[in-house]
Structure 1
Amino acid sequence: MYQPLADKLRPQTLDDVVGQRHLLGPNGLLRRVIESGNIPNLIFYGPSGVGKTTVASIIAKQTDRKLYHLNATTAGIADIKAIIDELDTFLAPNGALVYLDEIQYFNKKQQQSLLEFIETGKMTLVASTTENPYFYIYNAILSRCTVFEFKPVGPTDMKRAVERALALAIGERDIPVEDGVAAHIAQAVGGDVRKALGAVELLVLGAGESGVTLADAEQAAQRSHMRYDRDGDSHYDILSALQKSIRGSDPDAALHYLARLLEAGDMISAARRMLVIASEDVGLAYPQCVAIVKACVDSAFQLGLPEARIPLAEAAVLMATAPKSNSALMGMEAALADVRAGRTGDIPAHIRDAHYGGAAKLGRGLTYRYPHDFPHHWTAQQYLPDELKGARYYEYGPNKTEQAAKAYWEKIKG
């Protein structure tokens, strides 16, 4: 019967696992926990194909527990209850280890129903998720589990796994492998071991007279390194990295994260975030930046991809290399804090609307002074409510533009 290469190469011990040295290395915490034999309830968080299922299988084997593998997309509480019914039989004399894949697909009621089973100690839960558990798993479960984060496998470890897979897949057959194949696959699969082994198997099965070629490897692994879900963690992580790179004035990193968004076809998110950055992070240090970025975004949408990358790159580099100021944002936050706390007060009568009959009888606008009637278009008068008189929300930033404005008004206002 056909057996996928990934199953043939599935590690049987912790030392065989590719990557995850931070968890399973000689001094890794997860390794020490497993070797103790006392396994708490665990949550494995990380992308697909990095060893979460494999490690759960090894735990069950090393602790002599029966492994039950469920997937939350198809399983329910009834399946958990059926497992519990087996625990006191000869089928699971040492208890059960239930590996629940994609636990984020269990709703709140289903997740809470797990509590009665995991608190008895008869069943050990190892749940896995590709989504941030602190967003998708409810506190009642999180408080009873330890979260371990699995990371994408690095190219060095991946290359060793690919070379081993090539040797096993080729076997005794005389199939040449072109230089650079293993390195390309290791780099292109984005840390996904399962994807790498699948690419190896495909290449060996489809090897022609020239054997396994680099051109075939490039085709088999193309774009497979892209981890992106418009509703998932990677979407928000890349947008966050884009904004923080621009805020940190690193044009190279800004272009990198913009490229990842555009390569995934998500121009809308990139454009929206850059419009925010223009005001939030560049702000009053270079106020014309807002108009320029808006023009770049408009051009991008008129052009469409792939040409849209050009004006968007211009906007990203412009903002990354521009002076920065968040003084307007901080002023707004300070003003909002007062409003939300109920510190508002009545609007002074002299600046209320006076464009209606009877306004004068109510005292509206009687003492208002029109600034354009005075030198430098300014005259002293109170604008804030009495309760907030003297409140200061905006502080001039240390950049050239705001300091010039500060010097101007200090001269005018004396």
Structure 2
Amino acid sequence: MNIFDMQYENSIKNKAPLAEKMRPLNLNDFVGQEHIVGKGKILNRAIEADKLSSAIFYGPPGTGKTTLAKIIAENTNNNFTTLNAVTGGIKDIKERIKFAVDELSFYNKRTILFIDEIHRFNKAQQDALLPYVENGTIILIGATTENPYFEVNSALISRSLVFEFKKISNIDIKNVMKRAIEDKEKGYGNKNIEVTEDALNLIVNNSNGDIRKALSALELGIETTKEVNGKVKIDLSIAEECIQRKKVEYDKNGDSHYDTISAFIKSMRGSDPDAAVFWLAKMIKGGEDPKFIARRIIICASEDVGNADPRALEVAVNAFKAIEIIGFPEGRIILAQAVIYISCAPKSNASYIAINKALEAVERSSLEVPDHLRDKSYKNAAKLNKATNYMYPHDYDKFYVKQQYLPETMKGVNFYEPKDSGYESRIKKFMEYLNQVP
């Protein structure tokens, strides 16, 4: 390396963002993801033994996917090359593959290809990698913020280990920030920096599990604050200026979408109106289609409330119709009213259970309609002995008469078992009364 190359590298290193400077170079300094890189875990063992197979890293931004790939690059005897799926295309893929083939042919050396944001590659681009992943010419490490089972070709998934990266804990983020303040080589250890505990906590709490975001806010505060008596002090007011308004993480096609919907429904089912309204607010802030939300409320009203409060379905359906008429922003009030009603209503999933049991029974049982229940209105029904011996309930006391309505082979089978909840408890008592009628 000549003197100009060295000067360039040093210049880049000095000008690099704090998050880049603080990026760990080995597993000992790597923060978080203990479930996959902790001592004895498969990825840790594979890196240390230099026996890594193709892998997909997926998880939120700032959780260490690229960092871990760079650690692998520093601790492997294989070639290491990178590609960004946002800017790269088929031509770039072919260049990397040619390099890998040549290295394997001439030097018996394999190549690790790290592709950032691999979900941005289309099917053809992903397919171009497949033969070389399959025969071992390249070891693929793909990084994505999206669920790979939705965004990455199943053929690549089946040939790779999939590792989910989780948001970094607030404690770990705080420790990294303190390390950046004290580190004399890569951080601000050579300066007199004081960051108050309140300021640290505010930045951590607004980082949303993203180390890069926290370090960027810390760097902004330090670099833009003037020294007073030889000290740079970051207090709460400065920290507030350095953090941007918290972005609602809600990709309508990603994991956050499905996770939030799940939390929303489970909160209504669990009779927690506060949590249900909170998840509703997240969806509204995230730009979710209000009709989609309203449809989920309707399903919950029937599946989880059912006949414990029949009005719940009425409220939910009316909310959907009102949203069509009113729209947003006023529609948020309508959705909130319906969500709170469903959350606070007595619960029963007896209807949900009944139809599922009946559907299963249809698969394995006789579907023949008993003679006395058959239609006698069509021509020649009487000649064919159809609909005989049917007892008309309105002709009997209490408008009820006991007779077989299910196929004969299913006599005595119960699908609907009303629960002792809300209005359904009255239904239960009525059904118990009918069962006692001779």
* TM class by smaller structure: 0.7 to 0.9
Which of the residues 99, 106, 117 maps onto 2:132?
117
Shift in CA distance, 214/296, structure 1 to aligned 2, threshold 3 Å: farther
Query: Counterpart of 1:146?
Result: 161
Residue 270 (structure 1) aligns with: 293
2:400 alignment counterpart = 378
Q: What is the match of residue 21 of structure 2?
A: 8
Alignment of 1:56-135 (within 5 A): 56-87=69-100, 88-89=102-103, 94-135=109-150
Q: 1:189 to 1:305 in 2, by over 3 A?
A: farther
* 1:294 CA displacement: 4.2
Which of these residues, 312, 318, 323, is aligned with residue 289 of structure 1? Answer: 312
Deviates more, 1:55-64 or 1:376-385: 376-385
* Contact in 2 for aligned 1:162/1:185 (Cα 8 Å): no
Q: In structure 2, how many angstroms separate the alpha carbons of the residues matched to 1:302 and 1:371? A: 43
**1:409 and 2:424 matched:** no
**Match for 1:292: what amino acid?**
V
Match of 1:53 among 66, 84, 93: 66
Letter in 1 for 2:418: Y
Indicate how the Cα distance of structure 1 residues 84 and 263 shifts in structure 2: closer, same or farther if over 3 A, else same.
closer
1:397 corresponds to which of 416, 419, 432? 419
| In 2, Cα distance between equivalents of 1:297 and 1:159 | 44
- How far residue 191 of structure 1 moved from its aligned partner, in angstroms, is 0.8
The secondary structure found in structure 2 opposite 1:218 is helix
The 1:172–1:308 alpha-carbon spacing in structure 2 relative to 1, beyond 3 Å, is farther
Partner of 1:326: 349
Pairwise CA distance, 1:295: 4.9
Range 303-312 or range 221-230, more displaced: 303-312
* Whole-Å separation in 2 of the counterparts to 1:92 and 1:192: 40
Q: Give the CA deviation at 1:230.
A: 0.8
1:185-196 to 2 correspondences below 5 Å: 185-196=203-214
Task: Provide Cα deviations, 1:358-414, integer angstroms capped at 9, x if missing partner.
Answer: 877787767655433433223345544567665543222343533432332342451
> Where do residues 345-384 of structure 1 align in structure 2 (5 Å cutoff)?
345-346=368-369, 350=373, 352=375, 354=377, 369-384=391-406
Relative to structure 1, is the Cα distance of residues 83 and 329 closer, same or farther in structure 2, using a 3 angstrom cutoff? same
Q: 1:342, 1:74 → 2: CA distance?
A: 58
SS at match of 2:98: helix
* CA 199–35 in structure 1, closer or farther in 2 if over 3 Å, else same: same
Q: Unaligned 5+ residue runs, structure 2?
A: 1-11
> Is the aligned partner of 1:280 residue 2:303?
yes
1:41 and 2:28 matched: no
CA change 1:37–1:222 in 2 (3 A) is same
Would you say 1:199 and 2:217 are equivalent positions? yes
Secondary structure of the residue that 1:194 maps to in structure 2?
helix
Q: How does 1:282-321 map to 2 (within 5 A)?
A: 282-295=305-318, 312-321=335-344
Equivalent position amino acid for 2:53 in 1 = P
8 Å CA contact 2:58–2:148 kept in 1: the answer is yes
Cα separation, 1, equivalents of 2:225 and 2:268:
45
C-alpha RMSD of matched pairs (Å): 3.6
In the alignment, is residue 258 of structure 1 matched against residue 280 of structure 2? yes
Unpaired stretches in structure 1, ≥5 consecutive residues: none
Shift of 1:97: 0.8
Q: Percent identity?
A: 40
Report how many residues are paired. Answer: 413
